[in-house]
Amino acid sequence: MKANNKMSKITNLVVIVFFSLSIVSCSKEFLDVKVQGGETTTSNPNLAQDLVTGVYSSLLQGDSWGNGDVHGFAFLSATSIASDDADKGSYAADQATTAGQFDNFTLTSTNPFCGTLWSGHYNSIGAANQALKALAPAPLPMATKKILVGEVKFLRGYFYFNLVRFFGGVPLVLQVPKDAHDANTNPVYQTRTAATVVYDSIIRDLHYAIANLPSKAQAGTGHATKGAAQSLLAKVYLYLAQWDSVKALTNQVITSGQYQLVQDYSLQFKQAGNNCSESIFEIETGKFNNSNFGIANWTVSQGPRVGGMGGWNDLGWGFNNPSTALINTYETGDLRKNATIIFIDNSGLHKGTVLWDGFRIPSSDSVQNLYYNYKAYTSSVVPSKETYATPGDKDRPKNIPVLRYADVLLMNAEAALHTGGDAATPVNLVRVRAGLLPKGSVTLADLKQERHVELAMEEDRFWDLVRWGDAASVLGSKGFVAGTHELLPIPATQILLSNGKLTQNPGY
């Protein structure tokens, strides 16, 4: 009897076990496991605004050897090292197959920098398209929404402007892929659009931005403004040689009263000059997560490099050295020369070079190269004269001016040279600030010279040369071939991925 009781208890237990398993099995919720630690598009009420910040964030891409570069070492190579502003720098073999190919125009379609410039810009455009998609239904006041859309369109216009100058007509993506199949098969992502169509899209985006963005005085620091959109659109028209539009837009910026030249040219390239009165749009850097936060490698890649006898803790890798051609371009007394170039002491007297913050670089027998980009220098003395989350890092963040008032003045002058009008006044504003005498009249050659020295090492020179048709004559000695090197090669892997639908630029 006792045994029977025990048995039936056990039988009951088994029945219970089998019954309970069916509960587990039958419950649908058991398999409905939500993604852990991954915010979805519905779980963030501020998603649209956050995505707009995310588009700005994509300006900081500097993964030059990896997934994307918008203003990093690859951008530097394609704009500055490729131009007559600068030589590759460092030692001969260093980055010879990446940056070196830009310096001597031996570019191939497998150059990783071409690949990361391509992906970096399309990453940014993707972020912009996603932000626009999220903004459309977002429950925001219409005025706020228009400003946010304007900011995104300004940025998208900027990204396409760089792309079209780098690669010519590119796939014009203004949408978000529906799914994997769409991403892989939709010709939008694989077929090149004529450069003119890309320009039309840039112009449309910037017109929207001009119409909806607030002026600098009303906008938050660092955000895109009406003036920035006007200046950028002026620059776009500059490349299209639509001089009337350039003139009209630059005049609007000039007469807006929002901008003026700073007295000390070099201030703009120090932290103290961040967002100064001359700044129209700049890439902002600072700190995040207790770390320096900027464009990876932008400063360290250009920092003076130890060499020869060594014996000092150097500042970087030593790339992007101002060229002797640039040095020789400056007129005597031009204050911009010493604000743009770090001259390594090569006198044999071992005085070294003392920089604005008191940092002393040893003389040339301990340094790899003779000239470095002063505009990329961050205060390296201990303690630093600038604010950094971790001053000990060599790769300290630095703001990069994208559009500044001097550029607008020179665009205005260039338009005046083509359409008639006063070119001398805007040019002389720039010259006098640089400690030079004003010119009575200005020729196109004067304008080109002024643009060269004013914007030297600011990643603009190569495109100016191409735009003026001067690239072959100026850069021919570096290996530039007309008809090919105006544009970069389309990355080989992208052509393969498109099954050949994406076509290569001529000469590659």
Partner 1 sequence: MVRKLLILFLFIPFCALNLLAQNRMISGKVVAKEDGQSLPGVNVVIQGTTRGATTDANGNFKLDLEATDNTLTVSFIGYKTQTITIGSQTSLSIVLESEASQLQEVVVVGYGVQKKSDITGAVANVKGEEMIKQPVLTAAQAIQGKVAGVQIITSGQPGTSPQIRLRGVSTALGATTALFVVDGVLTDDISNVNTADIVDMNILKDASAAAIYGSRGANGVIIITTRKGVSGKIKVSYNNNVGFRQAANLVPMANSAEYNNYVQAASGLIPPASTYNTDWYSVILRNALEQTHNLSFSGGADKSTFLFNVGYMDDNGIVINNNFKRLTMRLNSDYKLTDNLKLGIQSSFASSANQNGFGNLDIDPNGNVGSVYNDAYRAAPIIPSIVNGRYGNSSIYQNVGNPLLDINSNSVKVLENRLQGSSYLEYKPVVWLTLKTSFGADWRNSLNRLYNYQIIADNNTYVTPGGNQQNPLSSLNVKNTQSFRWVWDNTATFSKNVGKHGFTFLVGTTAEKYRLTFVSAFRKSVPADPNLWYIGVGDANTSQNDGGGDMWARNSYLGRLNYSYDGRYLLTATLRRDGSSRLPIQNRWQNYPSVGAAWVLSNEKFMEGQTWFDLLKLRASYGRVGNDQIPTNAYTQTVALNQAYPFLGSGSTATNGAQINQIIDPNITWEITDEYDVATEFSMLHSKLSGEINYYNKTVHNALISVPIPRTVGDADGLIITNAASIQNKGVEIALNWRDAINTNLSYSIGGNITLNTNQVTALNGGQNILDGYVGNQGAVTNTDIGHPVGSFYVLKQTGVFNSDAEAAGYVDKNGVQIQPSAHAGDFKYLDAKGSGPIDINKDRVFVGSYQPKAYYGINGSIKYKNWDFSLTIYGNTGNQVYNGKRGARYAGTDNIEKALVYNRWTPVNHTQTQPAANGGNLPASTYFVESGSFVRINNVTIGYTFSSETLQRLKISTLRVYVVSQNPYTYKKYSGFTSELPGGPTNSGIELSTYPTTRTIAAGISLGF
Residue 492: CB minimum distance to partner 1, A: 4
Dmax over CA atoms of the chain, in Å, equals 123
Q: Does 301 bind partner 1 (CB under 8 A)?
A: no
Q: Does 2 bind partner 1 (CB under 8 A)?
A: no
**CA–CA separation, 415 vs 427, rounded Å?**
12
* Ranges within 103-142 binding partner 1 (CB under 8 A): 108-110, 112, 118-119, 122-127, 129-130, 134
**CA–CA separation, 43 vs 46, rounded Å?**
9
Interface segment toward partner 1; rule CB under 8 A; list 86-94, 256-264, 348-356, 444-452? 86-94
Which secondary-structure segment (H or E) carries 293? strand 291-293
**CA–CA separation, 61 vs 319, rounded Å?**
19
Residue 499: CB minimum distance to partner 1, A: 7
Residue closer to partner 1 by CB (options 48, 341) is: 48
Residue 420: CB minimum distance to partner 1, A: 39
Structure tokens at 393: 């890092």
Residue closer to partner 1 by CB (options 212, 366) is: 366
Q: Does 443 bind partner 1 (CB under 8 A)?
A: no
* Ranges within 320-379 binding partner 1 (CB under 8 A): none
Q: Does 471 bind partner 1 (CB under 8 A)?
A: no
Residue 355: CB minimum distance to partner 1, A: 19
Residues 6+ apart with CB under 8 A from 63: 69, 72, 116, 120, 296
Residue closer to partner 1 by CB (options 221, 443) is: 221
Q: Does 399 bind partner 1 (CB under 8 A)?
A: yes
Residue 264: CB atoms within 10 A of its CB come to 14
- What is the sign of the dihedral through the CA atoms of 372, 378, 379 and 382? negative
Interface segment toward partner 1; rule CB under 8 A; list 137-145, 384-392, 411-419, 466-474? 384-392
Residue 317: CB minimum distance to partner 1, A: 7
Work out which of 389, 418, 419, 482 binds partner 1, going by CB under 8 A: 389
Q: Does 52 bind partner 1 (CB under 8 A)?
A: yes
Contact 383, 326 (CB under 8 A): no
**Amino acid present at 349:** L
Residue 249: CB atoms within 10 A of its CB come to 28
Residue 282: left (phi > 0), alpha (psi -120 to 50), or beta? beta
Residue closer to partner 1 by CB (options 84, 459) is: 459
* Ranges within 8-37 binding partner 1 (CB under 8 A): 10-11, 14, 17-18, 21-22, 24-25, 30-37
Residue closer to partner 1 by CB (options 289, 328) is: 289
What is the SS3 assignment for 459-478? CCHHHHHHHHCCHHHHHHHH
- What is the sign of the dihedral through the CA atoms of 166, 171, 174 and 178? negative
Contact 151, 48 (CB under 8 A): no
Helix (H/G/I), strand (E/B), else coil: 240: helix
Residue 336: CB minimum distance to partner 1, A: 22
Using alpha carbons only, what angle is made at residue 473 by residues 470 and 478, rounded to the nearest 5 degrees?
Answer: 115
**CA–CA separation, 402 vs 332, rounded Å?**
27
Work out which of 2, 38, 142, 348 binds partner 1, going by CB under 8 A: 38
Q: Does 390 bind partner 1 (CB under 8 A)?
A: yes
Interface segment toward partner 1; rule CB under 8 A; list 209-217, 240-248, 313-321, 448-456? 313-321
Q: Does 51 bind partner 1 (CB under 8 A)?
A: yes
Residue 12: CB minimum distance to partner 1, A: 11
Interface size with partner 1, residues (CB under 8 A):
118
* Ranges within 198-237 binding partner 1 (CB under 8 A): 220-223
Interface segment toward partner 1; rule CB under 8 A; list 60-68, 412-420, 424-432, 478-486? 60-68
Work out which of 143, 197, 481, 496 binds partner 1, going by CB under 8 A: 496
Contact 457, 265 (CB under 8 A): no
* Ranges within 402-421 binding partner 1 (CB under 8 A): none
Which secondary-structure segment (H or E) carries 85? none
Work out which of 12, 45, 53, 473 binds partner 1, going by CB under 8 A: 53
Q: Does 58 bind partner 1 (CB under 8 A)?
A: yes
Q: Does 394 bind partner 1 (CB under 8 A)?
A: yes
Q: Does 288 bind partner 1 (CB under 8 A)?
A: yes
Q: Does 479 bind partner 1 (CB under 8 A)?
A: no
Q: Does 5 bind partner 1 (CB under 8 A)?
A: no
In order, the DSSP letters of 306-371 are B-TT--S---S--EEEEPHHHHHHSPTT-HHHHHHEEE---SSS---EE-TTS-EE--GGGBS-SE
Residue 286: CB minimum distance to partner 1, A: 3
In order, the DSSP letters of 148-209 are HHHHHHHHHHHHHHHHHHHHSS-----S--SSHHHHHH-GGGTS---HHHHHHHHHHHHHHH
Structure tokens at 1: 């009897």
Sort strands 353-354 and 360-361 into parallel, antiparallel or unpaired: antiparallel
Residue 468: CB minimum distance to partner 1, A: 30
**CA–CA separation, 461 vs 457, rounded Å?**
8
Work out which of 12, 67, 347, 473 binds partner 1, going by CB under 8 A: 67
- Interface mask toward partner 1 for 157-196; x: CB under 8 A: -------------xx-x--xx-xxx-xxx--xxx------
Residue closer to partner 1 by CB (options 185, 260) is: 185
